[in-house]
């Protein structure tokens, strides 16, 4: 059965006409399909879990944040608006605890309040803070990032003892600090740089190897930035906020700008630290607003 579904998925992805036919066929049957899923799959699963002393079933639907922001065919609505706002009630009909990832654009949409009414509370996941809004260090965040690296290197060692093995990973313990800071608290970026180092050579990682990996990420990222986007980056750096404009959405989607959450001051934004090391950023007026 899984093989047949895989074949169907591949065919639908490659043929726009087939996608349209499939939508026309499934559209009037969605509610019926939801009822069958609830009665035949989720209901029995919930019952068995509760028999084992569990509270219930949680389903996480990931990667929906990658849904294209283009307009839906024959509609003025974007695909995310159609899926999460117009169809939000149906997404809630599945009888278990559902967690959906959603596109960032919806957080800046005029439909955001309606979205929350349809789907419930929306949790935004900012970067792990490595500094406060005033530019001072946030040691707790840096320590968490360090532990993320050390836990992968020494999974069977107690957290308090892992730091004793830093010299097995890096030539200099300060290199781990450098890696955490340049990541901006974005765990995937941190691991990407680390993986690039390990692809080049076995640990302990040298300073030259780490800096090459950082430069590669910096150059790859900056290559995609237009002059207009550099101007927006400068604006965000100075104001530490973004607006609902499409250009600002692009900065966040493309990881040119990161979002942080201060427990007292609220959300604030700043440029990806790796871009701060480009000549272009350093040439921008007031680029030193925040270190």
Domain co-membership, 107 together with 228: no
Domain co-membership, 169 together with 276: yes
Distance from chain centroid for Cα 129? 15
Helix 207-223 and helix 187-200, axial crossing angle in degrees, nearest 10: 120
Of residues 247, 225, 221, the one with CA closest to residue 236: 247
Domain co-membership, 232 together with 203: yes
Give the pLDDT confidence score for residue 69 in this predicted structure. Answer: 78
Domain co-membership, 83 together with 18: yes
168-194 pLDDT per residue, tens: 999 999 999 999 999 999 998 999 999
Total number of domains in the chain? 2
Take residue 92 and report the two structure tokens written for it.
Answer: 């809630």
Burial class (CB in 10 A: 0-12, 13-18, 19+), 86: middle
Domain co-membership, 84 together with 219: no
Domain co-membership, 131 together with 110: no
Q: Is the pLDDT of residue 115 over 90?
A: no
Of 93, 119, 145, which marks where a domain is finished?
Answer: 119
Domain co-membership, 169 together with 283: yes
Rounded Cα distance between 264 and 266, Å, is 6
Domain co-membership, 90 together with 13: yes
List % helix, strand, coil for the chain (3-state, nearest 5).
Answer: 60, 10, 30
Average predicted confidence (pLDDT) for the chain: 84
Domain co-membership, 155 together with 287: yes
Rounded Cα distance between 78 and 19, Å, is 17
Full residue range of the structural domain in which residue 49 is found: 2-119
208-263 pLDDT per residue, tens: 999 999 999 999 999 989 988 998 999 888 888 887 666 677 888 888 999 898 87
Domain co-membership, 285 together with 162: yes
């Amino acid at each position: 059965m899984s093989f047949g579904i895989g074949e169907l998925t591949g065919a639908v992805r490659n043929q726009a006409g087939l996608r349209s036919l499939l939508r026309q066929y499934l559209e009037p049957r969605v509610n019926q399909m939801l009822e069958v899923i609830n009665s035949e799959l989720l209901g029995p699963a919930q019952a068995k879990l509760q028999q084992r002393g569990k509270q219930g079933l949680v389903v996480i639907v990931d990667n929906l944040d990658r849904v294209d922001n283009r307009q839906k065919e024959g509609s003025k609505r974007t695909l995310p608006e159609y899926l999460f706002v117009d169809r939000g009630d149906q997404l809630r009909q599945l009888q278990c605890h559902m967690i959906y990832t959603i596109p960032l654009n919806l957080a800046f949409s005029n439909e955001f309040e309606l979205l929350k009414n349809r789907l419930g509370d929306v949790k935004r996941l900012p970067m792990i803070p490595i500094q406060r809004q005033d530019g001072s260090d946030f040691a707790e965040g840096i320590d968490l990032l360090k532990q993320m690296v050390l836990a992968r290197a020494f999974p069977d060692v107690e957290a308090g003892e892992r730091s004793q093995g830093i010299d097995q990973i890096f030539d200099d313990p300060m290199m781990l600090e450098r890696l955490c800071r340049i990541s901006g608290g974005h765990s995937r970026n941190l691991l990407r740089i680390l993986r690039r180092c390990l692809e080049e050579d076995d640990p302990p990682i040298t300073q030259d190897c780490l800096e090459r990996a950082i430069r590669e990420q910096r150059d790859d990222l900056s290559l995609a930035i237009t002059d207009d986007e550099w101007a927006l980056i400068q604006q965000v750096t100075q104001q530490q906020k973004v607006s609902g404009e499409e250009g600002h959405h692009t900065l966040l989607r493309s990881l040119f700008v990161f979002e942080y959450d201060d427990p007292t001051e609220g959300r604030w934004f700043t440029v990806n630290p790796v871009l701060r090391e480009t000549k272009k950023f350093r040439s921008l007026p007031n680029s030193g607003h925040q270190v």
